[in-house]
């Protein structure tokens, strides 16, 4: 089962922007995620077409299961 960290940011003037990181460690903490998200926001490394990153919205770990249909 794969784990993906899904970080959602609020944009100005409106909307959201999602950054997803695959293979996140099982014991990642809120502090670690918040630090990364603040760094992303401050660095300006991402330039979403819909606007400018304004603030942190949410972060969640999504567990994915893949079942081959044709192998």
Summarize pLDDT for 2-42 with one digit per residue, the tens.
899 999 999 999 999 999 999 899 899 999 999 999 999 99
Question: Above pLDDT 90, what percent of the chain?
Answer: 85
Residue-range definition of the domain harbouring residue 45? 2-64
Q: What is the pLDDT of residue 22?
A: 93
3-class secondary structure, 34: helix
- Count of domains forming the chain: 1
Indicate whether 8 belongs to any domain.
yes
Indicate whether 45 belongs to any domain.
yes
Name the token pair of 30.
């809120």
Q: What is the pLDDT of residue 71?
A: 81
For 10, other C-beta atoms within 10 Å of its C-beta total 17
49-57 average pLDDT score: 95
Q: How much is the pTM?
A: 0.86
Indicate whether 69 belongs to any domain.
no
Indicate whether 70 belongs to any domain.
no
């Amino acid at each position: 089962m794969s784990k993906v960290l899904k970080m959602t940011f609020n944009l100005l003037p409106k909307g959201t922007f999602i950054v997803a990181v695959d293979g996140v460690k099982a014991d990642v903490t809120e502090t670690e995620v918040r630090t990364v998200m603040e760094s992303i926001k401050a660095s300006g490394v991402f330039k979403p077409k819909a606007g400018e990153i304004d603030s942190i919205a949410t972060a969640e770990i999504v567990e994915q299961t893949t079942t081959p249909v044709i192998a």
